Amino acid sequence: MDLGANLKKARNDAGLTQKQLAEALDVYQKDISRWEKNELTPNTLTFAKICKVLNASADEILELQ
């Protein structure tokens, strides 16, 4: 599983830039970049928000399906 790549794909599929996603989540754009590079991992509450904003299931992003 590559969480960062899956987050990036879901973000791109949703048609959002890192900046737009950061604004929707009320985080820094740098956080999005670090998540996508697997330098950091979002906490569970933020991950739930990511799924909602990107209209993606946690199963898809975590490759559980």
**Model confidence, pTM:** 0.91
**Cα separation, 59 vs 15, whole angstroms:** 20
Angle of helix 44-54 versus helix 3-13 axis, rounded to 10: 30
**What would the pLDDT profile of 35-64 be if each residue is shown by its tens digit?**
999 999 999 999 999 999 999 999 999 988
What is the tens place of the pLDDT at every residue in 2-47? 999 999 999 999 999 999 999 999 999 999 999 999 999 999 999 9
- Count of the separate structural domains present in the chain: 1
pLDDT at 64 (0 to 100): 84
CATH of the domain at 42: 1.10.260.40
Is the pLDDT at 1 greater than 80? The verdict is no
39 vs 59: CA distance, rounded Å: 21
20 by Cβ neighbours in 10 Å (0-12 / 13-18 / 19+) ranks as: middle
The Cα 5–Cα 10 span in angstroms is 9
Residues of the domain holding 7: 3-61
